[in-house]
Chains A and B, each alone.
Chain A
Amino acid sequence: MSDQADIIEEIMGRYPGKPEYLIFLLQDVQADCGYISPEAMNLISEHACVPITQAYSVATFYQSFRLEPKGEHEVRVCLGTACHLKGGQRIVEELERKLNISAGDTTEDMMFTLNSVNCVGACALSPVILVDGKYETNITANKIEKILKQINNEHAGYSEGGTNV
């Protein structure tokens, strides 16, 4: 935790303590810590001089903020219009089956988080998914299997089990 406190301390140094920097603070903390913990929320709201309730109101209004830790790997499925027409929803369902979780959730072993996103600007290559920020394009069930297998193989060396796919 103290690590996180240091990171947050450093981030708060970047912005003056004013309400208008609340979103900047939340974004930077999330970028460095992966999510915004209750402790982080306290520190941020104090620094930005807003009541904690307002900090939560802002953090829950915007979709990009997470209040819970995410898995080691994040798979985001594009559900923008172009991807939807090329079967984006089917891709979500396939991943839900393979990972045994619902979209928005994280696997119990904290390996995978499954999310959706609305257009990532690569509509020409739809359907698109982002695996830890890397674009995977023209996705098919077959490709999903390969991608997940590869991630699990990378982990097999130093962890036992892993999500069964």
Chain B
Amino acid sequence: MFNGNVALKTEVNRLNSHTDLNDFRQQILDSYDPDRPEILVCHGTGCIANGSVELTQALKKACQTMGVDAKIMPGIKSTGCQGLCSKGPLVHIKPHGLFYQRVKAKNAEEIIQKTIIENKPVKHLLYKDPQTGELFHKEEDIPFYKKQKRYVLKNIGKIDPTRIEDKIAVGGYQALAKALTTMTPEQVVEQITKSGLRGRGGAGFPTGRKWQGALKAIEKKGRPVYVVVNGDEGDPGAFMDCAIMEGDPHAVLEGLILGAYALGAEMGYLYIRAEYPIAIKHLQIAMEQAKAYGLLGENILGSDFCFNAQINRGAGAFVCGESTALFTSIEGKAGNPRPKYVRSVEEGLWGRPTVLNNVETWANVPMIVENGADWYANIGVPKSTGTKVFCLVGKVNNVGLVEVPMGTPLAEIVENIGGGLPGGAPFKAVQTGGPSGGCIPYHLKDLPVDFDSLTKAGAMMGSGAMIVMDDRDCVVDVARYFLRFLEEESCGKCLPCRLGLSRMREILDNFSHGCGEEKDIDDLMGLAQAIQDGALCALGSSAPNPCLTTIKFFKDEYIAHVRDQKCPAGVCKDLITYSIDPEACTGCMSCSRQCPQGCISGEKKKPHAIDESACIRCGICMETCKFKAVIVR
């Protein structure tokens, strides 16, 4: 929005009113020179892993060594995840609006020379449509972005998340200022209720109703009340909350402060998964900066309202995403869930009324307050309003962060935004909701993705992971994977979960070893019912979902495992064999060199063969072969 290397303020002045905030915003915008280029380098986790830190250094160095004229000396900025992670590192150049993908440090000089100095695009870094070969210059034209509706992700990838000035320039803290100057706390709660916002952490509980519940509890018990951010994101294979915290930490913080104002809370907690060090750092910075400007802490924006917050790092326990376990963990204890005879809005952290919401839920709050409940309720479908951020991964061309209005058909997300599967085959299933969710088969591809439709199909919105599977993914293996995950993560407090999940996993182990029986499938369903009925918390009671939905939609595949001892997808090790297609094999010897068992024989330039008796089915030969000569059956 404005050039990052412009010095704005030498000393930070507290903002003491809405006018102060607006003046400051104007001052930032005025310092912005629209002609000066800006290079936005994605520093989301995926792009960092792909080398964006090195790229940024190379760009800075190139600017210095190549004698760029001071007038066009670009500001180089690090942003959060720009969305299309599979094509990273991504780079955005303003004011040209150019979008570059798979940019490496070695491309830095070329970018400076061509784009910054000569004002031309670097063609080979542009996004190319895999089907049509069409080149795209701008992000907004690429189907992946064009078909999304980015509200929560609006600023992510556009601002430097470590500079509050960037956030204020794009309208950050306007909602807070509006609430503090023109709305009563009750009116804020009313807006959230009317907006229809439902919790994005999984269950989809209406946020307004939760807040009203807390207000009722306060009437009975008085204050203090606490507001808490659930940033534990335990679902293995989902990173949307991570991306929001990393890329737009002030959105979460502003939401939390608004919640505190609405409920009269003086203290808040952000519980963040320890595996997300960048998210923790960015929120820490955000809090420090907000404090310095008087947007957090004492007398916020010059009003009587005071609110402080603290970050708690998680310590690697999935169950701590559960509300009561999360509170116990903040209290410094082992995170065991407790029975919810009394709801946690009444008796939460330290036994006090507490409102816990998910990261994305909090990030929705400021836009609702700013634009009004009616505006928000118009997005999405009547019973699931607003948008949802998904983490689209697995066997799909465009892997990354996606935001669509609630109710968007599944196929639209996977095929149009995700660009379909590599090779163009239809998907086999899409797993939504992680370990508590289910698999949606291809024939339900037009299913609208909203809370209620997913639940009806036996799956679940969950936190928003969307894992695309093809015919090389085995549903028995996936069910077994999630069960084993939950078995390990079960806190062990109650028996149906502790023993039931182990039993279910053992039965699935047997299936994958080829020693199950058809009647075991019925046993699985019986066990699942018992666990659903008897488990104390939702970790246990939703654990059977992946297994149940795969039995429901892919029973044939289960039967193939138990009756024919075959794994049609070629995944379950004990049920498959590797062999070499003599027609395709060129005798290049690379597989025989890599095989850890040394069980591949054959002369150079002659077809090779695998000794099945020694093969441990590690699959390295298949991974190594460049000629697709290794076959799995």
Contacts and interface: CB of A to CB of B under 8 A. Distances in A.
Most chain-A CB neighbours within 10 Å: which of B333, B394, B431? B333
A27 B491 CA distance: 20
Q: Is the interface of A mostly helix, strand, loop or mixed?
A: helix
A119 B619 contact: no
Interface in A18-65: 18-24, 26-27, 48, 50, 54, 57-58, 61-65
Contact of B316 (A19, A22, A48, A62): A62
B313 interface: yes
Contacts of B316: 62-65
A4 interface: no
A62 B317 contact: yes
Interface in B424-443: 431, 434
Contacts of A124: 46, 85-86, 88, 393, 399-400
Given A23-B315, A123-B399, A94 B618 contact: yes
B541 to A, nearest CB: 20
B467 A82 contact: yes
Given A120-B275, A121-B45, A94 B620 contact: yes
A118 B85 contact: no
Contacts of B334: 57-58, 61-62
Interface stretch (B15-23, B127-135, B324-332): B324-332
A145 B333 CA distance: 41
Contact of B393 (A27, A79, A126): A126
A79 B329 contact: no
Contacts of A125: 46, 49-50, 85-86
B24 interface: no
Contacts of A90: 618-620
A50 to B, nearest CB: 8
A63 B332 contact: no
A27 B50 contact: no
Contacts of B624: 140-142
Q: Give the contact-size bracket for chain A.
A: 35 or more
Contact of B394 (A24, A85, A117): A85
Interface string B457-487: 0000000010101000100001001100100
Interface in A141-163: 141-142
B582 interface: no
Nearest to A133: B277
Nearest to B329: A23
Interface in B577-633: 594, 596, 618-620, 623-624
B525 interface: no
A87 B85 contact: no
A134 to B, nearest CB: 9
A83 B312 CA distance: 27
B47 to A, nearest CB: 9
Contact of B46 (A21, A54, A121): A121
A27 B46 contact: no
B619 A82 contact: no
Contacts of A137: 49-50
Interface stretch (B118-126, B231-239, B362-370): B231-239
B315 A121 contact: no
Interface in B274-325: 274-276, 312-313, 315-318
Contacts of A83: 237
Q: Give the contact-size bracket for chain B.
A: 35 or more
A27 B399 contact: no
Nearest to A18: B332
Contacts of B400: 124
B237 A123 contact: yes
B431 A81 contact: yes
Nearest to B623: A140
B435 to A, nearest CB: 8
Nearest to B318: A118
A99 to B, nearest CB: 13
A12 interface: no
A143 B272 CA distance: 32
Given A85-B473, A124-B46, A128-B49, A64 B274 contact: yes
A8 to B, nearest CB: 18
Contacts of B395: 85
Nearest to B49: A135
A14 interface: no
Contact of B315 (A20, A63, A79, A94): A63
Interface in B141-182: none
Contacts of B623: 87, 140-141
A122 B394 contact: no
Contacts of A65: 315-316
A142 B596 CA distance: 12
A20 B267 CA distance: 15
Contacts of B50: 125, 137
Interface string B173-211: 000000000000000000000000000000000000000
Contacts of B391: 123
Contacts of A22: 332-333
Contacts of B620: 90, 94, 141
Contacts of A61: 317, 334-335, 491
A123 B467 CA distance: 10
A71 interface: no
A133 B256 CA distance: 31
Nearest to B241: A121
A26 B163 CA distance: 31
Contact of A48 (B45, B234, B332): B332
A46 to B, nearest CB: 15
A10 interface: no
A23 B275 contact: no
A94 B88 CA distance: 27
B470 to A, nearest CB: 9
A119 B332 contact: no
Contacts of A62: 315-317, 334-335
A85 B331 contact: no
Contacts of A97: 596
Given A58-B334, A81-B394, A120-B45, 6 more contacts: A57-B334, A62-B317, A82-B394, A85-B394, A117-B275, A120-B275
17 contacts: A23-B312, A48-B332, A79-B236, A80-B237, A81-B393, A81-B481, A81-B482, A85-B473, A119-B236, A122-B45, A122-B49, A124-B86, A124-B393, A125-B85, A140-B623, A141-B623, A142-B624
List 5 tightest A-B contacts by C-beta distance, closest first: A81-B237, A135-B49, A124-B85, A62-B315, A64-B316
Interface of B: 45-46, 48-50, 85-86, 88, 234-239, 242-243, 274-276, 312-313, 315-318, 329-335, 391, 393-395, 399-400, 431, 434, 465, 467, 469, 473, 478, 481-482, 485, 491, 594, 596, 618-620, 623-624
Interface of A: 18-24, 26-27, 48, 50, 54, 57-58, 61-65, 79-85, 87, 90, 93-94, 97, 117-126, 128, 135, 137, 140-142
